[in-house]
Structure 1
Amino acid sequence: MNLNLLKETFASFVRARGMDRHFRRLGMDMFRSSPLTKEVPQTLAQQLLEASRGDTASLLQRLHTRPDGLTEQEADAIRAETGPNEVEHEKPLSWWVHLWHCYKNPFNLLLTLLAAVSFYTEDMKAAIVIGTMVVVSTLMRFIQESRSNTAADKLKEMVSNTATVMRHDLVADIAEEAQRYFDVTLHPKGAKRIELPIKLLVPGDIVQLSAGDMIPADLRLLSAKDLFVSQAAMTGESLPVEKFITPANTDASSPLELDNLCFMGTNVVSGSATAVVLTTGKRTYFGALAERVTAADRSPTAFQSGVNKVSWLLIRFMLVMTPVVFFINGFTKGDWVEAFLFGLSVAVGLTPEMLPMIVTSTLAKGAVALSRKKVIVKRLDAIQNFGAMDVLCTDKTGTLTQDKIFLERHTGILGEANDEVLQYAYLNSYYQTGLKNLLDVAVLEHAELQREMAIASAYRKVDEIPFDFQRRRMSVVVSEREDHHELICKGAVEEIVSVCTHAKKNGEIVPFTPELLAEIRETTASLNAEGLRVVGVAAKDLPPTKEVYSLADESDLVLIGYIAFLDPPKESTEPALTALRGHGVTVKILTGDNELVTAKICREVGLEVEGMLLGSHVEKMSDAELAIAVEKTTVFAKLSPAHKERIVRVLHDNGHVVGFMGDGINDAPALRAADIGISVDTAVDIAKEAADLILLEKSLMVLEEGVIEGRKTFANMLKYIKMTASSNFGNVFSVLIASAFLPFLPMLPLHLLVQNLLYDVSQISIPFDNVDKEFLEKPQRWNPGEIGRFMVFFGPISSIFDVSTFALMWYVFGANSPDHQTLFQSGWFIEGLLSQTLIVHMIRTKRVPFFQSRASWPLMGMTLIIMAIGIIIPMSPLAHYFKLEALPLSYFPWLIAILVCYAALIQGMKRWYSNRYGWQ
Structure 2
Amino acid sequence: MPNGNEWWADKAEGLAASLGSGPGGLTPEEARRRAEHHAASGPRHPALRLFISQFTTPLVLILIVGALLSLVLREWVDALIILAIVAGSGVLGFTQEYGASRAIAELRSRLVRQVRVLRGGAEVSVPLDEVVPGDVAVLKAGDLVPGDGAILHSDALQVDEAVLTGEAFPVEKSPGVSPAEAPVSQRLGALFQGTSIRSGTARMLVVKTGRETQFGAIEHTLEAAEEKTEFARGLAGFGAMLMRVMIVVVSLVLAASLFLGRDLVTSLLFAVALAVAISPQLLPAIVSVTLAAGARRMTRHGVLVRRLESIENLGGMDVLCTDKTGTLTKGAIALSAAVGPEGEQSGEVLRLAAANARLQTAMASALDEAILSAASAASLDLSGFEKIEEIPYDFTRRRFSVKARLAGGAEEWICKGAVKEVLEGCSTIRSGEGTLLLDAAAREKVEAFLRAKGEDGFRTLALSTGQEGSACLEGFLLFYDPPKRGIARTVAAMLRRGITVRIVSGDNRYVSGHMARIIGLPEGEVVTGEQIAALDDDALAARIGGISVFAEVEPQQKERIVRAFQKAGHAVGYMGDGINDAPALRAADVGISVDSAVDVARESADIVLLRPDLNAIRRGVEDGRRTFANTLKYIAITTSANFGNMVSMALATVLLPFLPMLPVQILLNNFLSDLPAIAIAGDAVDRERLASAQRWDIRRIRNFMILFGLISTLFDLATFALLRLVFHADEAHFRTSWFVVSLLTELMALFVLRTKRPFWQSAPARLLLWSSVFVAALALALPYSGPIAALFAFVPLPPLQMAAMLGLVLLYALVTEVAKRRHHLQAD
TM-score (norm 1): 0.83
Cα deviation for residue 654 of structure 1 reads: 4.6
Distance of 1:382 and 1:152 partners within structure 2: 14
Q: 1:45 to 1:59 in 2, by over 3 A?
A: closer
Distance of 2:656 and 2:127 partners within structure 1: 72
Aligned residue runs from structure 1 range 742-753, under 5 A: 742-753=656-667
Q: 1:479 to 1:452 in 2, by over 3 A?
A: farther
Q: Which amino acid is 1:144 matched to?
A: Q
Q: 1:328 to 1:346 in 2, by over 3 A?
A: same
Cα deviation for residue 634 of structure 1 reads: 2.2
Aligned residue runs from structure 1 range 188-199, under 5 A: 193-199=123-129
TM-score (norm 2): 0.92
1:229 alignment partner, one of 159, 164, 169: 159
Q: Which moved more, 1:510-519 or 1:805-814?
A: 805-814
Distance of 1:566 and 1:574 partners within structure 2: 18
Q: Which residue of 1 aligns with 2:770?
A: 861
Q: Does 1:132 align with 2:41?
A: no
Q: Does 1:522 align with 2:452?
A: no
Fraction of identical pairs, as percent: 34
Q: 1:813 to 1:61 in 2, by over 3 A?
A: closer
Q: Which residue of 1 aligns with 2:238?
A: 310
Q: Which residue of 2 aligns with 1:822?
A: 732
Cα deviation for residue 655 of structure 1 reads: 4.5
2:379 alignment partner, one of 449, 452, 455: 452
Aligned residue runs from structure 1 range 680-829, under 5 A: 680-815=594-729, 820-829=730-739
Distance of 2:68 and 2:569 partners within structure 1: 48
Distance of 2:702 and 2:237 partners within structure 1: 11
The 8 Å contact of residues 509 and 558 in structure 1, kept in 2 or not, is answered as: yes
Q: Which residue of 2 aligns with 1:847?
A: 757
Q: Which residue of 2 aligns with 1:894?
A: 804
Q: 1:328 to 1:50 in 2, by over 3 A?
A: closer
Q: 1:84 to 1:490 in 2, by over 3 A?
A: farther
Q: Which residue of 1 aligns with 2:6?
A: 46
Q: Which amino acid is 1:51 matched to?
A: K
Q: Does 1:100 align with 2:52?
A: yes
1:493 alignment partner, one of 419, 424, 429: 419
Q: Which moved more, 1:881-890 or 1:110-119?
A: 110-119
Distance of 1:896 and 1:430 partners within structure 2: 81
Distance of 1:609 and 1:369 partners within structure 2: 36
Q: Which residue of 2 aligns with 1:567?
A: 481
Distance of 1:708 and 1:690 partners within structure 2: 23
The 8 Å contact of residues 87 and 290 in structure 1, kept in 2 or not, is answered as: no
SS of 1:765 mapped into structure 2: helix
Q: Which amino acid is 1:435 matched to?
A: M
Distance of 2:38 and 2:431 partners within structure 1: 57
Cα deviation for residue 616 of structure 1 reads: 2.0
Cα deviation for residue 124 of structure 1 reads: 4.4
Aligned residue runs from structure 1 range 541-552, under 5 A: none
Distance of 2:219 and 2:764 partners within structure 1: 48
Distance of 1:102 and 1:531 partners within structure 2: 60
Q: Which moved more, 1:835-844 or 1:222-231?
A: 222-231
Q: 1:130 to 1:234 in 2, by over 3 A?
A: same
Aligned residue runs from structure 1 range 502-517, under 5 A: 502-517=428-443
Aligned residue runs from structure 1 range 557-706, under 5 A: 557-706=471-620
Q: Which residue of 2 aligns with 1:365?
A: 293
- The CA deviation string for residues 124-177 of structure 1, in whole angstroms up to 9 with x for no partner, is 4443443334323322232233233333333322234344445777xxxxxxxx
The 8 Å contact of residues 426 and 464 in structure 2, kept in 1 or not, is answered as: yes
SS of 1:867 mapped into structure 2: helix
Backbone CA RMSD of aligned residues: 3.2
Cα deviation for residue 517 of structure 1 reads: 1.1
Q: 1:299 to 1:475 in 2, by over 3 A?
A: closer
1:480 alignment partner, one of 365, 389, 406: 406
Distance of 2:702 and 2:307 partners within structure 1: 28
Distance of 1:235 and 1:885 partners within structure 2: 71
- The CA deviation string for residues 58-99 of structure 1, in whole angstroms up to 9 with x for no partner, is 7777777665x35xxx52244256447979997365333222
Distance of 2:235 and 2:248 partners within structure 1: 20
SS of 1:613 mapped into structure 2: strand
Q: Does 1:348 align with 2:271?
A: no
2:198 alignment partner, one of 248, 254, 269: 269
Q: Which residue of 2 aligns with 1:917?
A: 827
Cα deviation for residue 913 of structure 1 reads: 0.4
In structure 1, stretches of 5+ residues that fail to align are 1-40, 170-191, 541-552
Aligned residue runs from structure 1 range 113-262, under 5 A: 115=67, 123-165=75-117, 193-201=123-131, 206-246=136-176, 253-254=182-183, 256-262=185-191
Cα deviation for residue 203 of structure 1 reads: 5.7
Q: 1:375 to 1:893 in 2, by over 3 A?
A: same
Distance of 1:713 and 1:652 partners within structure 2: 23
Q: 1:222 to 1:756 in 2, by over 3 A?
A: closer
Between the two proteins, the alignment pairs up a number of residues equal to: 827
Cα deviation for residue 318 of structure 1 reads: 1.5
Distance of 1:282 and 1:652 partners within structure 2: 35
Q: 1:717 to 1:128 in 2, by over 3 A?
A: farther
Distance of 2:510 and 2:186 partners within structure 1: 45
Cα deviation for residue 336 of structure 1 reads: 6.5
SS of 2:5 mapped into structure 1: helix
In structure 2, stretches of 5+ residues that fail to align are none
Q: Which amino acid is 1:595 matched to?
A: R
Q: Which residue of 1 aligns with 2:458?
A: 532
The 8 Å contact of residues 345 and 749 in structure 1, kept in 2 or not, is answered as: yes
The 8 Å contact of residues 350 and 732 in structure 1, kept in 2 or not, is answered as: yes
Cα deviation for residue 469 of structure 1 reads: 0.4
Cα deviation for residue 113 of structure 1 reads: 5.5
Q: 1:661 to 1:113 in 2, by over 3 A?
A: farther
Q: 1:45 to 1:837 in 2, by over 3 A?
A: same
Cα deviation for residue 118 of structure 1 reads: 5.1
Cα deviation for residue 746 of structure 1 reads: 3.1
Q: Which residue of 2 aligns with 1:32?
A: none
Q: Which residue of 1 aligns with 2:328?
A: 400
Cα deviation for residue 518 of structure 1 reads: 1.1
Cα deviation for residue 220 of structure 1 reads: 3.4
Q: Which amino acid is 1:558 matched to?
A: C
SS of 1:759 mapped into structure 2: helix
Distance of 2:713 and 2:68 partners within structure 1: 31
SS of 1:45 mapped into structure 2: coil
- The CA deviation string for residues 314-372 of structure 1, in whole angstroms up to 9 with x for no partner, is 22332343344445555567666655544444333322454243222212212221221
Aligned residue runs from structure 1 range 403-482, under 5 A: 403-446=331-374, 449-453=376-380, 455-482=381-408
Cα deviation for residue 514 of structure 1 reads: 1.3
- The CA deviation string for residues 377-432 of structure 1, in whole angstroms up to 9 with x for no partner, is 22333333322333322211111111111212222213233232222212111222
Q: Which amino acid is 2:797 matched to?
A: L
Cα deviation for residue 253 of structure 1 reads: 3.8
Distance of 2:719 and 2:378 partners within structure 1: 92
The 8 Å contact of residues 199 and 393 in structure 2, kept in 1 or not, is answered as: yes
Q: 1:876 to 1:210 in 2, by over 3 A?
A: closer
- The CA deviation string for residues 421-450 of structure 1, in whole angstroms up to 9 with x for no partner, is 22221211122212222211211222x642
Q: Which amino acid is 1:372 matched to?
A: R
Q: Which amino acid is 2:56 matched to?
A: K
